[in-house]
Amino acid sequence: MFLVATLGALISTLPVARATTVVFSHDVLGELEPCGCRSNPSGGLDRKAMLLEQERRLHPKEELIQVDTGDLLFDSADIPDLLKKQKEEQARALLKGHKKLGHQLILPGEKDFALGTTSLLRMAKESGITFIAGNLYDKKTKKPLFQTQWKSPSKVLFLAVVGKDLNFPKDVEVRDPIRTILQGLKDRGDAHEVVILTHQGLEADQKLAKAIPKNSKVDVRIIGAHSQSFLQQPYIENEIPIGQTSFRNQAIGFWKISHTTGNLEYKLKILDESLSPKSDGAKDLVTAQVKDIEKLIEETKKKVADQNQEITRQSLKDMGAETQEIQTWVRCAECHQKQWKFWRDTGHARAWKTLFEAKSHENLECLSCHSVGMGQKTGFNTAKGVSPFATYEELSTFLKDAATADALEPVLKKHPLANEKGKVFTPVQCENCHGNGNSHPFGNGLKPIPPTLASVEGVCVKCHLYERAPTWYTKDKKLDPKIVLEKIKSVACPRDSEASETQ
């Protein structure tokens, strides 16, 4: 009897699994699927589902813990009113999708509070996923906003902190992250491994690692976020490994902890096209769960489109409303035919097509960069108002006829809808670069924009951000002058003298 009891006690102290693999992401920034702006885009919740299915088949006996270390739900802490309904719908879909994937832990970053503390607490509760943060407290009640720590069945302890200097809402108290972690390590109980989740940036993670005593008698590792450092190998500080992966779900991190040997195996896996449910080489990974995720994405896009059809003119101040009249390219082409002929063969002229192909042509966030005049008094404020054409096919026919015509007038006669309305706010066009035409050519005329780096500031980079146009940037996320000048020249309309030489 004593032997049985002893064996039972011994077995109860052993890990449930021989290894625990922590699957981690961060800085997803509200993205359900890859943004169509990037060439060969990586990311997407459906591809993540495929990757997890692959991992479960390869290691069926291992414990799999999924965590996200912040800025999962939104891409900005300050969302314009016009986009709030759409952003909330997408955030709820992300949480629903992660729940379907069996996700365990979310450490909220400052951007996750974009709709307010109350809204985030409500979404967290409704999601059924554990939100964890050891140093986020209600400023009034002095109570923790979320669960402060979590332990897996195999006794891996998860602690979580955010940076004290980040821009959290005024009703949130952020306590010292280092003190929080040191206390958590002290009170770890029977945990034999500790994973510290952070949202504070690599430099702050290094300071945290230095503060942890080497004689803590427990294996510690840090999974960070916020600085989007993309560490292909762990950064070692004070013998503590620190990991981070890419933003927007482009890569997923895997950190395998062996409970028998103590070895660590760290890798990042890119969510590329080979993991697409439509890929011929990955069809055997398309499970019912993957199909559920695909259905969720399509349903969310439909809900967003329906919402955006109903949104009326509102919050123009938030969207940078202007009073100067927008002409749109249809009017510009009446006089500037040489420039129009050049423009219609550029990528800008095909900008609306990419949205239709991604079924995002009624997504206001996408339209803000694939059109001109969104939220402006003389522009449009609904997905329906972006163009007089009901479908891309109608616009495509119009553009095709315009592309093969010597003059615009006969094309406008053939397409009376465009001529009657007089304004087509999509695709990317003249006034995206030159500003609103207003009464041009009467009154103040618009000046040509020189193809220089100075022209990029406040114009191109509003949309060509690092996450949307990474080829424009260096590895340290600064604009690459050589690449940018080449890009500008490829879309810069020639002046009259230059245009006449190329005809």
The mean pLDDT value for 151-177 works out to 96
Q: Name the pLDDT band for 492 (thresholds 50, 70, 90).
A: confident
b/e sequence 180-213, b meaning 16+ C-beta within 10 Å: bbbebbeebeebbbbbbbbbbbbebbbebbeebe
CB 349 within 8 A of CB 343: yes
Q: Name the pLDDT band for 420 (thresholds 50, 70, 90).
A: low
Say whether pLDDT at 276 is over 80: yes
Strand bridging mode 172-174 / 219-223: unpaired
What per-residue confidence (pLDDT) applies to 377? Answer: 75
Write down the mean pLDDT value for the chain: 83
Q: How far apart are CA 184 and CA 163, in angstroms?
A: 16
The β-bridge partners of 473 are: 479
Say whether pLDDT at 119 is over 90: yes
The mean pLDDT value for 382-387 works out to 73
What per-residue confidence (pLDDT) applies to 501? Answer: 39
What per-residue confidence (pLDDT) applies to 309? Answer: 66
Say whether pLDDT at 113 is over 90: yes
Q: Name the pLDDT band for 318 (thresholds 50, 70, 90).
A: very low
Name which residue leads in pLDDT, 284 or 463. 284
What per-residue confidence (pLDDT) applies to 500? Answer: 39
What per-residue confidence (pLDDT) applies to 414? Answer: 76
The most confident of 240-254, 361-375, 385-399, by mean pLDDT? 240-254
What per-residue confidence (pLDDT) applies to 107? Answer: 98
What per-residue confidence (pLDDT) applies to 317? Answer: 41
The mean pLDDT value for 319-329 works out to 64
Q: Name the pLDDT band for 315 (thresholds 50, 70, 90).
A: very low
The mean pLDDT value for 262-275 works out to 88
Which tokens go with 13? Answer: 């102290």
Residues 49-71: pLDDT tens digits? Answer: 999 999 999 999 899 999 999 99
Q: How far apart are CA 45 and CA 205, in angstroms?
A: 28
Residue pointed to by tokens 């997905």:
383
Residue 458 CB contacts under 8 Å (≥ 6 apart), including other chains: none
What per-residue confidence (pLDDT) applies to 41? Answer: 81
What per-residue confidence (pLDDT) applies to 338? Answer: 83
The pLDDT > 70 percentage for the chain reads 83
Residues 473-485: pLDDT tens digits? Answer: 887 778 888 888 8
Residues 333-342: pLDDT tens digits? Answer: 778 878 888 8
Residues 244-263: pLDDT tens digits? Answer: 998 888 999 999 988 776 67
What per-residue confidence (pLDDT) applies to 446? Answer: 63
What per-residue confidence (pLDDT) applies to 15? Answer: 43
Say whether pLDDT at 12 is over 50: no
Q: How far apart are CA 49 and CA 98, in angstroms?
A: 9
Name which residue leads in pLDDT, 56 or 356. 56
CB 162 within 8 A of CB 197: no
The mean pLDDT value for 396-407 works out to 71
Say whether pLDDT at 319 is over 70: no
Say whether pLDDT at 499 is over 60: no
The β-bridge partners of 241 are: 236
- C-alpha distances in angstroms, 305 versus 10, 309, 366? 58, 6, 12
Q: What is the 3-state secondary structure (H, E, C) of 322-390?
A: CCCCCCCHHHHCCCCHHHHHHHCCCHHHHHHHHHHHCCCCCCHHHHCCCCCCECCCCCECCHHHHCCCC
Write out the H or E segment, with its range, that includes residue 263. Answer: none
What per-residue confidence (pLDDT) applies to 442? Answer: 64
Q: How far apart are CA 133 and CA 485, in angstroms?
A: 44
Quick one: fold of 17-302?
Answer: Purple Acid Phosphatase; chain A, domain 2 (3.60.21)
Residues 426-474: pLDDT tens digits? Answer: 888 888 888 777 777 765 556 666 667 776 766 888 888 877 787 888 8
DSSP for 129-165, please give it. Answer: SEEB-SSEEETTT--BSSB-EEE-TT-EEEEEEE-TT
The pLDDT > 90 percentage for the chain reads 44
Q: Name the pLDDT band for 125 (thresholds 50, 70, 90).
A: very high
The mean pLDDT value for 317-342 works out to 71
The mean pLDDT value for 90-112 works out to 97
What per-residue confidence (pLDDT) applies to 34? Answer: 81
What per-residue confidence (pLDDT) applies to 38? Answer: 62
- In 260-343, the DSSP E strands lie at 264-270
Residues 13-42: pLDDT tens digits? Answer: 444 567 899 999 999 999 998 866 666 788
Sign of CA dihedral 325, 328, 332, 334: negative
Sign of CA dihedral 327, 329, 330, 334: positive
CB 221 within 8 A of CB 246: no
Strand bridging mode 219-223 / 193-199: parallel
Which residue intervals of 199-287 are DSSP H helices?
Answer: 202-211
Q: How far apart are CA 236 and CA 254, in angstroms?
A: 17
CB 109 within 8 A of CB 162: yes
- Coil/strand/helix, residue 397: helix
* Phi, psi angles (nearest 5°) of residue 315: 50, 45
Sign of CA dihedral 232, 234, 236, 242: positive
Q: What is the domain partition of the chain in residue ranges?
A: 17-302, 315-502
What per-residue confidence (pLDDT) applies to 214? Answer: 81
